[in-house]
Structure 1
Amino acid sequence: MTAHRALLLVTVVTATLLGTALGASYTVGAPDGSWDLKTNYTQWASGVRLYAGDQLRFQYSAAEHNVVEVTKSGYDACNGSNNTVATYQTGNDAVPLAAAGTRYFICGVSGHCAAGMKLQVNVSSPPVSSPPQQQCRWKGGKRRCNWSVSPSSSASAAVHADRSTVLWLRLAAVLAAGLVLLS
C-alpha cells in the first residue's frame, strides 16, 4: 500500500513539474520594478520575447492595484468596464499565455492606467528550428560533407535546450525522490 501511495505522489509531482517547466515565467517589470506606477511597461515589454506556453507574473500590492486584461479598445481608452477579458486581484497573479497573439493589461484603479500602468505584449508561436543543412564538396576524388546549423536555428535550439534541461533536471529530481520513497 505504501508503494502505491509513493508512486501516486511521484506521478502527481511529475505532472505538476512538467506543466510548469514547459514555458518560461516572466515577472512584469522585473528586474527593477513590479506592477506599479513607476515602471515603464512599454520599455519592459520591448526587452522580452514571449512565446505561447510562457506566463506573466504580476506582483503588486493588492490594496493599491489590480490587473485587468482588456481588449485593444479597452487598452487604448484605459477602460476596462465593458472591455474586460479577466480580472486579477491577489497581488501575485500568474497569467498563462496559451496562444500566440497580442494581449492587453491595465490597472483598473481609477487614474492608474492613464498614469502608465498598462502593458501590451505580443506572444509568438514557439520557435521552430531549421534542420541542419548538409554541405558537400568533392576533394581529392572523395565526397566530403559537413553539417551546419543556421544562426537563427541554433539560437532557437539553445532556447529549447535550456527549457529541456530544466524539464529533465526537474524530472530526474522527482524520480530520485520517488525512488527514495519506494525504498
Structure 2
Amino acid sequence: MAVGMASAATYNVGAPGGSWDLNTNYGNWVSKKKFHPGDEMVFNYTGGQHDVVEVSKAGYDSCSTSGSIASHTTGNDVIPLNSTGTRYFICGFPAHCTTTGTGKMKIQIDVVARASPAPDDSTGPGATTTPPSSAANHPPPASFIVVVLLLLLLMAA
C-alpha cells in the first residue's frame, strides 16, 4: 500500500489582508493556521523599515533580540519549518515588537506533526484479500454483442 505525503504549505505572514507590518493582528492571523514540518513562512516587508528576528521564548516575551537565533533583513524572507516545536519571531526595530494593540510585530508559530493516516485493518493477520478482477472473468455487455452482430449482418449482406 502506498501512502502519499501531504504537500507542504507556504504561508505569507499576515496575508491576505496584511504583511509583516505594524497594521496586522498576528495573534488573530496565526490562530487560523496549522503549521507542519515541511511548511514555510514568507515574511514580506519593506527592507530598512522592519526585519525578522528569530528569538527564544524569553526573547519573545521581553521583545529582546539579545541572543537571537537568526536574523533576516531581505524584505522577502522565506523561513522553512523543518521540525515540530514552537518558533518565535519578532521585529527587531525599536518599539515594533512592544507596540500595543494590533501592530505588535511578534508571532509564535507552533509546528505540529501531521496526523498519521488510520491503519488499514484489512491487511492485518487473518485478513483475506480478493484478487483484482480482470476482463477475462467478465463477459462483454449485451449492447456490445448486439453491435457486433449487427456489423456482421451488414458485412454479410
TM-score by length of 1: 0.59
Are residue 110 (structure 1) and residue 94 (structure 2) matched?
Answer: yes
Q: Distance in 2 between matches of 1:85 and 1:57?
A: 17
| 1:93-146 C-alpha deviation (Å, 9 max, x unpaired) | 000000000000000000000010000010001221113456xxxxxxxxxxxx
Letter in 1 for 2:27: T
| 1:141-174 C-alpha deviation (Å, 9 max, x unpaired) | xxxxxxxxxxxxxxxxxxxxxxxxxxxxxxxxxx
2:75 corresponds to which of 88, 91, 98: 91
Larger Rg: 2
Q: Distance in 1 between matches of 2:55 and 2:32?
A: 22
| 1:28-83 C-alpha deviation (Å, 9 max, x unpaired) | 0011000000001111110010001100000000121000000000000000123x
Q: Distance in 1 between matches of 2:37 and 2:11?
A: 13
Q: Distance in 2 between matches of 1:62 and 1:129?
A: 42
- The aligned counterpart of 1:173 is none
Q: CA deviation at 1:22?
A: 4.6
- The aligned counterpart of 2:107 is 119
Matches within 5 A, 1:151-162: none
- The aligned counterpart of 2:32 is 47
Greater fraction of residues in helix: 1
Letter in 2 for 1:91: G
Are residue 70 (structure 1) and residue 62 (structure 2) matched?
Answer: no
Q: Distance in 2 between matches of 1:40 and 1:131?
A: 40
Greater fraction of residues in strand: 1
Matches within 5 A, 1:18-37: 22-37=7-22
Where in structure 2 are there 5+ consecutive unaligned residues? Answer: 1-5, 123-157
Instruction: Give the 3-state SS of the residue equivalent to 1:57 in structure 2.
Output: strand
Instruction: Give the 3-state SS of the residue equivalent to 1:30 in structure 2.
Output: coil
- The aligned counterpart of 1:169 is none
Instruction: Give the 3-state SS of the residue equivalent to 1:50 in structure 2.
Output: coil
Instruction: Give the 3-state SS of the residue equivalent to 2:93 in structure 1.
Output: coil
- The aligned counterpart of 2:116 is 128
